[in-house]
Amino acid sequence: DLLARTLRCAPEMQRSFRVFALTSRVVVRRHWHKGVDPKAEMSFDEVTEYCSSPFLCLDVGCGRGDLALNIATICRNAEVHVCDLNQPSLDACRTRAEELNISIAHRMHYYNVAAQELFDPRSSTFLDEVARRRQALDAQSASWSNREAPVVVVGLHACGGLSDVIMQNGARLGWPFICCTCCFASHPHLRDWEAHQAGHVQEMYEDLAPLAENNYADIQPATMHLLNSLRAELYSSRTARNENDE
Q: What pLDDT score was predicted for residue 28? A: 37
Alpha-carbon distances of 179 from 103, 163, 167, 169, 176, rounded to whole Å: 26, 7, 8, 12, 10
Lowest mean pLDDT among 80-89, 99-108, 141-150: 141-150
Q: CA angle, 70 as apex, 140 and 23 as ends, to 5°?
A: 105
pLDDT band at 5 (very low <50, low <70, confident <90, very high): low
Entry pTM: 0.81
State the pLDDT at residue 90.
95
pLDDT at 60: 94
Q: How far is CA 167 from CA 89, 220, 244, in A?
A: 23, 22, 20
Span 202-206, mean pLDDT? 88
Query: Does the structure show a pLDDT above 70 at 180?
Result: yes
Contact 57, 76 (CB under 8 A): no
How far is residue 98 from each of residues 68, 106, 136, measured CA to CA in Å? Answer: 13, 9, 23
Helix-strand-coil split of the chain, %, nearest 5: 50, 15, 35
Judged against a pLDDT cut of 50, whether residue 184 lies above it is answered with yes
What would the pLDDT profile of 113-171 be if each residue is shown by its tens digit? 998 888 988 877 888 888 888 877 766 665 555 567 788 899 988 899 999 999 888 88
Are the CB atoms for 72 and 59 separated by under 8 Å? Answer: no
**Tens of pLDDT, residues 12-69:** 444 333 344 444 333 334 444 444 455 556 666 777 777 788 889 999 999 999 999 9
Confidence of residue 235 (pLDDT cuts 50, 70, 90): confident
Mention every residue, 6+ apart, whose C-beta is less than 8 A from residue 159.
Answer: 61, 182, 183, 186, 187
Contacts (Cβ under 8 Å, ≥6 apart) of 178? 2, 3, 6, 20, 21, 23, 152, 153, 154, 155
